[in-house]
């Protein structure tokens, strides 16, 4: 008999406390995920599993690799006609990154079920990749991924676009949040997670208590950020707010409660529309920050620390976004090559 999931969220005081899909094994796994991941990741995993089992329609213990490939085909099926594909990844169905994330969520579930050894699942049906074509290749090397995700460069905002966006914001709170992202490089969750005790105005620093991967860091930020935060705390933040979170709801039934991710996105979408901009997401503001810092000559290692990247490879992205740096490096090298070529044959060989 097939299994049809039903995603149910239980919340208290606007905080999600429990997510279930109506199957004991899946619900146990969601409890496991909740203990080690952020709420957004928790929700994403739950939704990915819901989609997978809606398509497959089987009990977890009887899912096979063939079912996984059938799911992959269903996700890649054209959504808007056979001839309509995205320029970004050439896909006609869901975005490659979305499909890869869903496969990762399912693979994580089966890794957990295999590790338990009491679920009837002894093999992960989601292969990490297809076998390498070269005979004798080492396991895990040279395999073909199930889904190829494009390595695209993120878009950043021009200085005029940042100014237009900031001018379209209506409160000191909103300007403080945007400044923290575009001048300090904070992630959306890091901005919303700031507590009053995390602010160090005298040193112009912020303490990020819950960065990505659970990493903490102290980051310097511009005086403009603290000016906006100070104006917000003095004139807008409700004195009766019971939370220690810096940024709270200013109006309505939830006045004084922590601002949600959806609330911040709504604020940014409204400002973007008023400013006449096509795009302006929280992540684009963060990318804009590090691109401008790199263009201004900030060392890559310093940007890594500011960004909270676990690997310098993540930070190298900003070498490609900082066009001025690339142009200067090219002109310097090209000039040296041309000067060498212009020398007489005898001098060039010395």
Q: How confident is the model at residue 57 (pLDDT cuts 50, 70, 90)?
A: very high
User: Could you give the residue numbers annotated as active site?
Assistant: 187, 212, 283, 286, 309, 318
The per-residue pLDDT for 255 is 92
- Cα distance between residue 127 and residue 238, in whole Å: 52
pLDDT digits (tens, 9 = 90+) for 306-348: 999 988 988 888 877 776 767 777 788 888 888 877 766 555 5
pLDDT digits (tens, 9 = 90+) for 266-303: 999 999 999 999 989 999 999 999 999 988 889 999 99
Q: Does pLDDT of 17 surpass 70? A: yes
Task: State what percent of residues in the chain have pLDDT above 90.
Answer: 58
pLDDT digits (tens, 9 = 90+) for 164-203: 999 999 999 999 999 999 999 999 999 999 999 999 999 9
Give me 48's structure tokens.
């990915």
* Of 83 and 73, the one with more pLDDT: 73
Helical segments of the chain, H only: 24-34, 39-56, 65-76, 96-116, 159-167, 172-182, 188-193, 223-235, 261-275, 282-295, 300-307, 312-315, 317-321, 323-342, 345-348
């Amino acid at each position: 008999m097939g299994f049809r999931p039903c995603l149910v969220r239980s919340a208290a005081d606007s905080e999600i406390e429990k997510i279930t899909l109506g199957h004991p094994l899946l619900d146990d796994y969601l409890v496991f995920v909740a203990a080690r991941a952020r709420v957004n990741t928790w929700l994403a995993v739950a939704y990915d599993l819901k989609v997978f089992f809606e398509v497959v329609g089987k009990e977890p213990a009887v899912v096979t690799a063939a079912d996984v490939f059938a799911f992959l085909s269903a996700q890649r099926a054209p959504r808007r006609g056979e001839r309509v594909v995205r320029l970004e990844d050439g896909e006609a169905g869901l975005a490659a990154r979305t499909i890869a994330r869903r496969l990762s969520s399912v693979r994580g579930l089966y890794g957990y079920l295999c590790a338990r050894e009491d679920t009837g699942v002894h093999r992960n049906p989601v292969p990490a990749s297809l076998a390498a074509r070269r005979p004798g290749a080492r396991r895990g090397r040279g395999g073909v991924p199930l889904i190829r995700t494009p390595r695209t460069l993120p878009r950043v905002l021009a200085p005029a676009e940042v100014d237009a966006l900031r001018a379209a914001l209506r409160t000191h709170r909103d300007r403080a949040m945007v400044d923290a992202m575009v001048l300090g490089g904070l992630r959306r969750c890091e901005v919303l997670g700031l507590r009053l005790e995390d602010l160090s105005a005298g040193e112009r620093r912020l303490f990020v208590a819950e960065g990505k991967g659970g990493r903490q860091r102290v980051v310097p930020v511009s005086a403009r950020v603290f000016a906006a935060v100070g104006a917000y705390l003095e004139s807008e933040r409700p004195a009766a707010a019971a939370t220690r979170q810096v940024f709270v709801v200013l109006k309505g039934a939830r006045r004084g409660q922590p601002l949600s991710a959806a609330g911040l996105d709504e604020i940014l979408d409204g400002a973007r529309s008023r400013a006449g901009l096509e795009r302006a997401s929280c992540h684009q503001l963060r990318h804009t920050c590090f691109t401008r810092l790199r263009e201004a000559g900030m060392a890559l290692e310093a940007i890594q620390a500011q960004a909270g990247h676990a690997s310098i490879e993540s930070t190298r992205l900003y070498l490609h976004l900082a066009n001025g740096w690339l142009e200067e490096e090219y002109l310097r090298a090209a000039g040296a090559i041309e000067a060498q070529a212009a020398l007489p044959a005898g001098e060039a060989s010395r």
